[in-house]
Amino acid sequence: MNHLAAIFGCAGPRLSAQEKAFFREVKPWGFILFARNIQTADQTRALIDDLRAAAGDDNALVFVDQEGGRVQRLKPPLARLRRPAQMFGALYARDPQGAVEAVTLNHQLIAHELRALGFDADCAPCVDLRLPETHAVIGDRAFGHDPSEISALGRAAMDGLLAGGVAPVIKHIPGHGRAMADSHMELPVVETPLGVLEATDFQPFKGLADAPMAMTAHVVFTAVDPDACVTLSHRAIETVVRGFIGFDGLLMSDDLSMHALGGSFEERTRLSIGAGCDVVLHCNGEPGEMHAIAKAAPRLHGRAAERAADARAVARREQSFDPQAAEARLAALGLDGREAA
């Protein structure tokens, strides 16, 4: 199937006739759901089935942001509340082996909960650095400040998700940690020298360069390209993401509706794809914006299509798993899930 190089959201808990017609016409490569789309287990499964049916593709990946902590679209009773990444980083300082075990189990449990509802891709882990200047939009979503520690815990998160049959998306490549602004609201500009970035921010991503998918940062690195954020910068994607980091998986943009980006949605789409993103992401379900993106986005072809196929191939490969034993072990480590806040 010749998919549109896009991942789309939808407006509510059920598809409208207009949304069904639109998805049937454009056939996006994947979908993403948010809290506004999720009410009950049966309703969520039905929505996911309807999305795939509308796109005419039973294998369309359906994404969600399920990191734990502040970024958790599924909550009790559909999924336990999971600890933020920072808490696993704190354990790593005392017990590296225990922290790696805990992150692996935690993410396999997340995957187990997602697969029960029909999801097969998670926009996690966040492997940005946490630094004194890090904006609160990242904050405790980061494992810590040490690149080797973040690589180890990011690897454990990836391994846990994959073991649970869920394809991971590392973010926000090549690093959002030094940003002093929230890219949902405005465009962050980072003026750190390239040598420092290569030794710090870029390193966790370099350590996870074999990830199946990555999401770009809407961040300008003046040492790389002073004129465009990574999402829109061919120079940044070619020299840093594909070059220095060596990432060759599927590269998706961060959400095109974020205020860090300017211009029309057609322009945002063309620039993202032209810069080297394989697919663009649009989250809010706004019909006019999605129609504009669909007009500008290409059909997946060439190397982008191969990367998309490879990303799909790692999903839905669950290993045998005892969730009760995993929860008990997490509790012993002080990092268990909770039924309610």
Q: Which of 49, 95, 184, 234 is catalytic?
A: 184
On whether the CB atoms of residues 24 and 298 are closer than 8 A, the answer is no
3-state secondary structure of 151: helix
Q: Which of 254, 255, 278, 336 is catalytic?
A: 254
Distance of CA 260 to the CA centre of its chain: 17
How many residues are given for the chain?
Answer: 341
Known catalytic residue at 145: no
Beta-carbon contacts of 108 under 8 Å, excluding residues fewer than 6 positions away, are 160, 161, 163, 164, 321, 326
Buried b / exposed e over 205-234, threshold 16 CB at 10 Å, is bbbbbebbbbbbbbbbbebbbeebbbbbbe
Rg over CA atoms, the chain: 19
Pseudo-torsion of CA 26, 65, 78, 163, nearest 10°?
Answer: 100
Q: H helices within the chain, ranges in order? A: 17-26, 41-55, 85-94, 96-117, 147-163, 194-199, 203-207, 234-236, 265-275, 287-296, 302-313, 323-332
- The pair of three-digit structure tokens given for residue 26, joined into one six-digit string: 């454009």
Exposure of 10 in the CB half-sphere (CA atoms within 13 A): 28
Under DSSP, the state recorded for 130 is -
Pseudo-torsion of CA 159, 30, 303, 128, nearest 10°?
Answer: -50
Known catalytic residue at 184: yes
Q: Which amino acids are annotated catalytic?
A: 184, 254
